[in-house]
Amino acid sequence: MEAKKARAAKILARLAKAYPKAGIELRFSTPLELLAATILSAQCTDERVNAVTPTLFSRYRTAEDFARAHPATLEKEIHSTGFFKAKAKSLMGMGRALVEHHGGVVPRTLEELVALPGVGRKTANVVLGNAFGLPAIAVDTHVTRVSQRLGLTRADDPEKIHDDLCAIIPEAKWTRATHLFIIHGRRTCFARKPACPVCPVLALCPWPGKTRPG
């Protein structure tokens, strides 16, 4: 375990040097906005979500606004993010739950967040880490792929991956680690053909499927 912790620290240090501006790419100004944006980001790029949310957030400023939304109207407003019917249902349910159980305020605990409609552990941890500044690892497809290839976890289940990473990364660095793994997955460690020859952590990566120059 100590050896794995030491290697994880080296990996994070090199990724931090390679991506000094790594951070959340969803644009938001309040916890509610980030919660809504993260719900919309499922199976969708952050860029597409960011194209939709300025208009959306100008119309839906409070949890009550989402709770009272007209389904067909909201579906049309978020249509381009995909799965718009399910996402509209989640946004409206999230709004109602916040109004009914939290006075319209986004809660600050994992347990309360995952109890909201449309909110899983990944979404909850995104909100905790980025809206409230609390230590949180959010496991998405990039975090899964990068952590597996780097040998930091052997798990496939997101909750187990989360627990494995929490065990070897200092709590204060959980949110930062999430950002670094995500940007590395987007910029270098691609799913189909990773850019291994230019990878900043190539020397620390045990993955046997590395690509070669050219």
- Catalogue the active-site residues: 122, 140
What values do phi and psi take at 44, rounded to 5? Answer: -155, 150
Distance CA 122, CA 132 (A): 15
What letter does residue 208 receive in the DSSP assignment? T
Task: Decide: 26 and 57 in contact? Cβ < 8 Å.
Answer: no
Neighbouring residues of 75: CB distance < 8 A, sequence distance ≥ 6: 84, 85, 88
Tokens of 140: 């998405």
Task: Decide: 24 and 126 in contact? Cβ < 8 Å.
Answer: yes
What values do phi and psi take at 83, rounded to 5? Answer: 50, 40
3-state helix vs strand vs coil in the chain, percent to 5:
60, 0, 40
